[in-house]
Amino acid sequence: EAGVTQFPSHSVIEKGQTVTLRCDPISGHDNLYWYRRVMGKEIKFLLHFVKESKQDESGMPNNRFLAERTGGTYSTLKVQPAELEDSGVYFCASSQRSEAFFGQGTRLTVV
Amino acid sequence: AQSVTQLGSHVSVSEGALVLLRCNYSSSVPPYLFWYVQYPNQGLQLLLKYTSAATLVKGINGFEAEFKKSETSFHLTKPSAHMSDAAEYFCAVSPFGNEKLTFGTGTRLTIIP
């Protein structure tokens, strides 16, 4: 069974540009989470989908971040326009019950 | 509100020595506690979790953790370190087990040959 897959693995963009990160959860998992780790600090929660609905988006830093999960399958996280402080590793996780399975993360560098 | 404190951002132990990674938590409700490991160039992998059953939890790769409510701790141990244990370890807490996780800052474990 395939695990949680994230694309791209690395992205380097200039300040002001737009970047879209994608997460493919484990098939059948209703819960999908986005997390971010900035500069070696703690991994912080961004938001939680249950199927296609946003259950909790309290961790989204500002309105430059837009997450979608069309059809309750894969999810995208768009940053527009990107700022230097958005650099970090973005993790996606999915779960059906109690255990969350994480993807490898997307390392975003804004220069 | 919940929080996690991991003491020691870097820990080095000799191969064959005891591994002890510390985690203290704060939670307003009985917590679910987790240890995750991240090997180089890989995602986070669940090592073990505490869900209010036995206080001593055994995980994969010989790791275990003990939940101590009086000390609000959930330290991770392994009796004998192996070179393959070199990785970054994260302690996390969740209020209901299937909700968002609150992570500590992580501890990078280095194994000395």
pLDDT tens digits along B10-28: 999 999 999 999 999 998 7
Q: Is the pLDDT of residue A99 over 90?
A: no
A contact set with B (CB within 8 A): 3-4, 31, 33, 35, 40-45, 48, 56, 59, 91, 93, 95, 97-105
Looking at residues A94-105, what average pLDDT do you find? 88
DSSP for A13-49, please give it: E-TT--EEEEEE--TT--EEEEEEE-TTS-EEEEEEE
Closest chain B residue to the Cα of A98, Cα to Cα:
B98
Q: Is the pLDDT of residue A1 over 70?
A: no
| pLDDT tens digits, B58-104 | 999 999 999 999 999 999 999 999 999 999 999 999 887 667 899 99
Closest chain B residue to the Cα of A33, Cα to Cα:
B100
CA atoms within 13 A on the CB side of B69: 11
Lowest mean pLDDT among A4-8, A12-16, B38-42, B77-81: B38-42
B30: β partners: none
Confidence category of residue A2, pLDDT binned at 50, 70, 90:
confident
A79: β partners: A19, A65
Q: Is the pLDDT of residue A37 over 70?
A: yes
Closest CA of chain A from B36, distance in Å: 10
Of A48, A56, A103, the CB nearest to B43: A103
Of A40, A44, A102, the CB nearest to B43: A102
Confidence category of residue A98, pLDDT binned at 50, 70, 90:
confident
Give A-chain residues touching B106 at CB under 8 angstroms: 40, 42-43
Q: Is the pLDDT of residue B2 over 90?
A: no
Q: Using the beta-carbon criterion (under 8 Å), do A102 and B49 form an inter-chain contact?
A: no
Q: Using the beta-carbon criterion (under 8 Å), do A42 and B105 form an inter-chain contact?
A: yes
